[in-house]
């Protein structure tokens, strides 16, 4: 399998939309199907930057708005060497949030805000409120207009198993396509 690279699969959406559940299920299903797959979550809270972000998100500390956005970006960038290494080794990375959550938390067709608000612990962290989520919704919709990105919209208001089945099918196609594209495409 020399030369075969892994795929970078990112699940984005509103808080409590099921990204973490689906990410874990997807990694398990991909491994069961014979793929090498691992899970990453952002913000990644174990690093020093991640600990600052965790404190901020849990409303335990305050950080100036511009600075917090730079911290979210830095938290992702500090993992780029690991991401490149894993992908070049043929490991598919399933990522629970990545760069687009820095701009917006959801797309208009992914999950209704009312559905997300019904799910457990909505409102526990700083950005889990309706007015912020609505503004994020508009931003995410604009991002989806970029046709150079490989967006796939999944209706997360369905059952966990139905959502998982659709995500798994979409990811199999993505993994096959990634095998034939150079890793450098991700950072150009």
Widest pairwise Cα distance in the chain: 49
Work out the end-to-end distance of the chain between its first and last CA atoms, rounded to an integer number of angstroms: 25
Per-residue pLDDT, 126: 55
Task: Read off the tokens for 105.
Answer: 């938390």
Predicted TM-score of the model (pTM): 0.75
Does 81 have pLDDT greater than 90? Answer: yes
Please give the C-alpha separations between residue 145 and each of 103, 107, 142, in angstroms, as whole numbers.
14, 11, 5
Q: What is the overall mean pLDDT for the chain? A: 81
What number of H helices and E strands is found in the chain?
Answer: 7, 3
Does 2 have pLDDT greater than 80? Answer: no
Per-residue pLDDT, 180: 77
Per-residue pLDDT, 111: 43
CB proximity list for 164: less than 8 A, separation 6 or greater: 22, 25, 26, 29
Higher pLDDT, 133 or 13: 13
Q: What angle do CA 84, 86, 90 make, to 5 degrees?
A: 110
What pLDDT digit, counting tens, does each position of 46-69 carry?
A: 999 999 999 998 889 998 877 888
Does 9 have pLDDT greater than 90? Answer: yes
């Amino acid at each position: 399998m020399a030369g075969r690279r892994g795929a970078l699969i990112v699940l984005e959406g509103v808080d409590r939309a099921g990204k973490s559940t689906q990410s874990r299920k997807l990694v398990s299903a991909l491994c069961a199907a014979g793929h090498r797959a691992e899970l990453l979550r952002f913000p990644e809270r174990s690093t020093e930057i991640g600990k600052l972000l965790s404190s901020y998100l849990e409303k335990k500390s305050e950080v100036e708005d511009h600075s917090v956005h730079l911290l979210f970006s830095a938290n992702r960038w500090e993992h780029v060497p690991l991401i490149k290494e894993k992908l070049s080794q043929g490991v598919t990375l399933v990522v629970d949030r990545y760069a687009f959550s820095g701009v917006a938390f959801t797309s208009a067709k992914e999950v209704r805000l009312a559905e997300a608000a019904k799910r457990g612990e909505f409102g526990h962290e700083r950005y889990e409120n309706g007015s912020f989520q609505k503004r994020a919704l508009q931003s995410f919709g604009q991002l989806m207009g970029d046709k150079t990105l490989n967006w796939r919209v999944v209706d997360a208001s369905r059952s966990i198993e139905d959502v998982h089945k659709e995500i798994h099918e979409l990811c199999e196609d993505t993994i096959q396509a990634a095998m034939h594209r150079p890793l450098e495409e991700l950072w150009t």
